[in-house]
């Protein structure tokens, strides 16, 4: 497959890159010319994907990393910098879940889901962020629709992904001025080895596909390869640039909308001596009717 962008000289770190969506993302970025650090809890899986990339002429380094462990993350980043260079593209894809009713979950299961899905992403992002800022790079987080609308039997996972959405938006506001974009991609249910149990529990791929507006097969519409193309478009900027760029254009440093600030200045210049502010909802309509008659 030909990738119409050139990422030569860039270094991408993909967590959960040993299988499924992460494997497809790592392969796609390598095809675009990036050096890829394939990070996974399983050394065997990471090595398999990295060797596959090398056999196709790409550059890859397997990294055994437990993202829930800050020390493991730090050691992995040190190896990435030594073998490939500073990270300029960070793909936070690793996650875990349990499929059962919330009342049946154990404390250990809850801790593991939160530690990997949310805290693991925080650990990796915090460790790699100095490199990404220096390279004016990109951060892409795998989020989930379950965080917005909920998901039966996956309450803890949905809660962790909701936290990840908040992290994505907040971090985008922080680093946007440094030239770093932060995007969240929600792939929907994807046919991977890790999601096979959930798909079968939901009645199989064809039944699950009917929950999507365009229907079709889950395996066809949401394959790992299709998901990896979304990450590639985020890297190019052909999707929404990032919530960082949008936030920087809409909001002032004091947290008020820039449009509202312009309206207040206009009101003060034209109607001096009137301390009572007009409602912000009238910003588009202009001054109140009474004020117009006095002009």
Burial class of residue 100, CB neighbours in 10 A (0-12, 13-18, 19+): middle
Phi-psi map region of 48: left, alpha, beta (phi>0 left; psi -120 to 50 alpha): alpha
What pLDDT, on a 0 to 100 scale, did the predictor assign at position 287? 55
Domains and CATH numbers, the chain: 11-187+222-250 (3.40.50.720), 258-294 (no CATH)
In sequence order, what are the beta bridge partners of 257?
Answer: 251
What pLDDT, on a 0 to 100 scale, did the predictor assign at position 234? 55
Distance from C-alpha of 104 to C-alpha of 149, rounded to nearest angstrom = 21
Distance from C-alpha of 206 to C-alpha of 126, rounded to nearest angstrom = 40
Sorted by sequence, the CB contacts under 8 Å of residue 69 that are 6+ apart come out as 123
Round to the nearest angstrom and report the end-to-end CA distance of the chain. 66
Active-site residue, 157 included: yes
CB atoms within 10 A of CB 289: 8
Distance from C-alpha of 112 to C-alpha of 183, rounded to nearest angstrom = 25
**DSSP character for 257?**
B
Give the SS3 label for residue 37.
strand
Sorted by sequence, the CB contacts under 8 Å of residue 256 that are 6+ apart come out as none
In sequence order, what are the beta bridge partners of 183?
Answer: 140
Tokens of 110: 């809850």
Distance from C-alpha of 186 to C-alpha of 167, rounded to nearest angstrom = 14
C-alpha dist (Å) from residue 230 to 186, 188, 190: 9, 12, 13
Mean pLDDT in consecutive groups of 10 residues from the start of the chain, 295 residues: 80 96 94 97 97 96 97 97 97 93 96 97 98 97 90 92 97 96 84 56 62 53 53 49 44 52 50 49 53 50
Of 179, 222, 178, 177, nearest in space to 199 by CA: 222
Catalytic one of 47, 77, 139, 157 = 157
Tokens of 102: 């919330």
Radius of gyration in angstroms for the set of CA atoms belonging to the chain, rounded to a whole number = 23
């Amino acid at each position: 497959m030909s990738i119409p962008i050139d990422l030569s000289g860039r270094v991408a770190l993909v967590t959960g890159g040993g299988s499924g969506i992460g494997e497809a993302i790592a392969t796609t970025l390598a095809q675009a010319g990036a050096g890829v650090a394939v990070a996974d809890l399983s050394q065997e899986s990471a090595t398999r994907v990295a060797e596959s990339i090398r056999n196709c002429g790409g550059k890859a380094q397997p990294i055994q990393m437990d993202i829930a462990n800050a020390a493991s993350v730090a050691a992995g980043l040190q190896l990435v910098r030594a073998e490939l260079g500073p990270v300029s593209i960070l793909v936070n894809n690793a996650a875990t879940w349990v499929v059962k009713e919330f009342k049946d979950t154990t404390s250990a299961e809850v801790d593991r889901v939160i530690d990997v899905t949310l805290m693991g992403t925080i650990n990796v992002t915090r460790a790699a962020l100095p490199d990404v800022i220096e390279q004016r790079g990109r951060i892409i987080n795998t989020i989930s629709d379950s965080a917005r609308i909920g998901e039966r039997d996956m309450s803890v996972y949905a809660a962790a992904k909701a936290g990840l959405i908040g992290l994505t938006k907040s971090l985008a506001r922080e680093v946007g001025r440094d030239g770093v974009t932060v995007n969240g991609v929600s792939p929907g249910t994807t046919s991977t080895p890790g999601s096979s149990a959930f798909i079968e529990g939901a009645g199989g791929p064809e039944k699950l596909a009917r929950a999507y507006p365009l229907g079709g097969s889950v395996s066809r519409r949401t394959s790992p390869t299709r998901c990896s193309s979304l990450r590639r478009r985020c890297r190019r900027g052909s999707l929404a640039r990032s919530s960082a760029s949008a936030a920087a254009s809409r909001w002032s440093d004091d947290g008020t909308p820039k449009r509202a600030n312009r309206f207040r200045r206009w009101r003060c210049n034209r109607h001096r001596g009137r301390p009572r502010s007009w409602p912000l909802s009238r910003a588009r309509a202009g001054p109140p009717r009474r004020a117009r008659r006095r002009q």
